[in-house]
Amino acid sequence: MNIFALSSGKGPSGIAIVRISGPQTLNICKALTNEKNIKSNEINLCKFIDPKNKKIIDPEALLLWFPKPHSFTGDDLAELHIHGSNAVITYLLKVLSDQKNCRLAEPGEFTKIAFQNNKIDLVKAESIGDLIHSETELQREQAANLVQGHASKYYENLREKLVKSLSYIEAKIDFAEDDLPGSVLKEVQKSIKQVHTDIKQILEDQKVGEKIRDGFRISIIGDVNAGKSSLLNLLSKRDAAIVSEEEGTTRDVVETYLNIDGYPVILADTAGIRKAKNKVEKEGIKRAIKKAKEADLTLVMIDVSKKTINSDVKKLINKDCILVFNKSDLSKKTPKNEFKNNDQILISVKNSKNIDRLIKTIKEKLSKKFMKANNILVTRERHRAKLNAALKEIEKFLKKDQKKEIETAAEDLRLATRHLGSIVGKVDVEEILGSIFQDFCIGK
Ligand SMILES: Nc1nc2c(ncn2[C@@H]2O[C@H](COP(=O)(O)OP(=O)(O)O)[C@@H](O)[C@H]2O)c(=O)[nH]1
Ligand SMILES: [Mg+2]
C-alpha cells in the first residue's frame, strides 16, 4: 500500500508539499507526470497531469524522488511541490486517491513508518511531533535538542551498560566458576550502582522537560478587587475572565495559555481571598489556595489603595511568590511589609504601567527555579514512568545476594534493560546474546 498526504499547512500559499510513500511511488509519479526518466535525489521540474483525462493539474511543479532506504520513511518516497491553492491541492489529492493501492495517510503515519523501518527511534518520533507543535522558543529549543538524538544517546548508553553487566551475569550462570575472574560480580555491582545514580539524577529535574512541553503553571491570588482578573485579561490579550467592581466576582478558576516571551505558561485567575459567607465563594477560595500550592509560581496581587495586606493573603506568601501591587494610578505608596526577600512590583493594569517589568521578573523567576539543569532529558510522563520502572528493578537487583540469587538477580536486570529500551523503542534479547559471544570466546 502507498500513502499520501498534504505535508505543508492548509492553503492558499505559494507552495504546497504533498508526500507519497510506498513501493509504487515511482510508478505513481510517472503516471502523473508522463516523465520516463525521473531523477533521484534531484529536483525534477515537471507538469502534473490527471492520467484519466490528461487535464493539467499544475503546469509548473517540482518533484523530488528519494528511493529507499535513503528517505525519511525508509520506503520509496516522493515530494511534490505544487502551487498552494486549495483547488490545485484538492485536485492533486483526488487524483492520488484514484491511483491503485494509494490512500490518504493517517496522522503521523509517515513518522510511524520511519520508526518501523528503524530510521528513527521513539524519542525522536515524539520530538518531531513536539517540534511541529512547538509554540514558544523554549519548546522549539527543547524539541530541536531531542530531534538531534541527545536524549536517545544518553538512554542508549545507560542501557548498553546494563546489557553488558547482564551478559557477565548470564555467563556466570552458564559457565564454570573458574572460567570467569572472581571480581566480575563486583565490577557488575559497581557499574549498576553508577547506572542507578545516573537515572536518579535524571529524575531529579523538577519535571522541567514536561513543564516546557505543557506550560509552567502560574497562579494569581490575592485580595478581592485587587485586579487579578484584569491582569489575566491584559496578559492574555482577551476578556477571558469577568472584571467587575463588585467584590467576589471570580469564583471558579479561569485558566489561559500564554507565551510569555518564549516561556509557555498556563495562567490561572482565582477567587479573591476573604472571609466568605457564601458557600460557592468559600469553595472558590478553597480552589484558589489549592491552585497556589500546585503552581510553579504565584503572583500575589495587592490593591495599593488599601494600605495594608490582608492577613489571610499574608499566610499564602512564601519565598517563591512575586508580590504585585496594583493600581499605581491611585497610589504610588506600597504598604510596608515584612516580605523583604520577595520580588515586589508596583503596576497599574488600568494604565498598562510596569507590565514589562512584571513579565521580565516572571521569566527570571522561572528561569532561576527551573532552568538549572542544562541537560533536559525527560519530556514526557512516558519517559519518567519507564525510568522509574527501570530504577525499581535495579534496586531489587542491588538488594539481592548475587551469589545465592543470581538467577533472579539476572531477571531483575533483564527487566530493567527492557524498561530502559522501551523509552527509545528498543527491546531485543538477541543483543544480550550477541554481547555474550563478543566478550567470551565460547568457541574456544
Ligand atoms: N484604578 C484602577 N482600577 C483597576 C486596576 N485594575 C483593575 N481595576 C479595577 O478594579 C476592579 C476589580 O478588578 P478585577 O480584575 O475584577 O479584580 P479581582 O477581583 O482581583 O479579579 C474593577 O473595577 C477594575 O476595573 C488598576 O490598575 N487601576
Ligand atoms: Mg476576579
CA pair distance 125, 118, nearest whole angstrom:
11
Q: Is the pLDDT of residue 160 over 80?
A: yes
The residue assigned the cell 508539499 is: 17
- pLDDT score, position 304: 92
CA of 363 to the centre of ligand 2 (A): 23
- pLDDT score, position 369: 85
Q: Does the beta carbon of 331 lie inside 6 Å of ligand 1? A: no
Closest residue to atom 9 of ligand 1, CA basis: 227
Strand order, beta sheet including 263-269: 254-260, 263-269, 216-222, 297-303, 322-326, 343-346
Same fold flag, 2-116 and 212-366: no
Percent of the chain with pLDDT over 90: 54
Question: In degrees rounded to 5, what are phi and psi of residue 25?
Answer: -55, -45
What pTM value is reported for the model? 0.80
- Strand runs (DSSP E) across 85-178, as ranges? 102-104
Q: Which fold has domain 150-205+378-439?
A: Four Helix Bundle (Hemerythrin (Met), subunit A) (1.20.120)
- Cα radius of gyration (the chain): 30
Q: Is the pLDDT of residue 432 over 70?
A: no
Instruction: Pick one of 3.30.1360.120, 3.40.50.720, 1.10.10.10, 3.30.2290.10 as the CATH number of 2-116.
Output: 3.30.1360.120
Q: Is the pLDDT of residue 17 over 90?
A: yes
CA pair distance 390, 388, nearest whole angstrom:
5
Every domain of the chain and the residues it spans: 2-116, 150-205+378-439, 212-366
Q: Does the beta carbon of 87 lie inside 6 Å of ligand 1? A: no
State pLDDT tens for residues 34-55: 999 999 989 999 999 999 999 9
Spell out the CATH class of 212-366. alpha beta
CA of 244 to the centre of ligand 2 (A): 7
CA of 253 to the centre of ligand 2 (A): 9
Pocket-testing residue among 243, 249, 352, ligand 1, by greatest number of atoms within 8 A of Cβ:
243
State pLDDT tens for residues 285-321: 899 899 889 999 999 999 999 888 888 899 899 888 9
- Give the torsion sign (CA, 147, 392, 421, 181): positive
CA of 334 to the centre of ligand 1 (A): 17
CA of 294 to the centre of ligand 2 (A): 19
Ligand 1 atom closest to 269 (CA): 21
How many Cα neighbours within 13 Å face the side chain of 67?
Answer: 5
CA pair distance 232, 20, nearest whole angstrom:
45
Q: Is the pLDDT of residue 436 over 60?
A: no
Q: Does the beta carbon of 349 lie inside 6 Å of ligand 1? A: yes
- pLDDT score, position 239: 83
Ligand 1 atom closest to 233 (CA): 15
* Distance (Å) of CA 17 to CA 4, 78, 111, 272: 11, 10, 16, 51
Q: Does the beta carbon of 329 lie inside 6 Å of ligand 1? A: yes
**Which positions ≥6 away from 16 have C-beta within 8 Å?**
6, 8, 81, 82, 83, 84, 88, 89
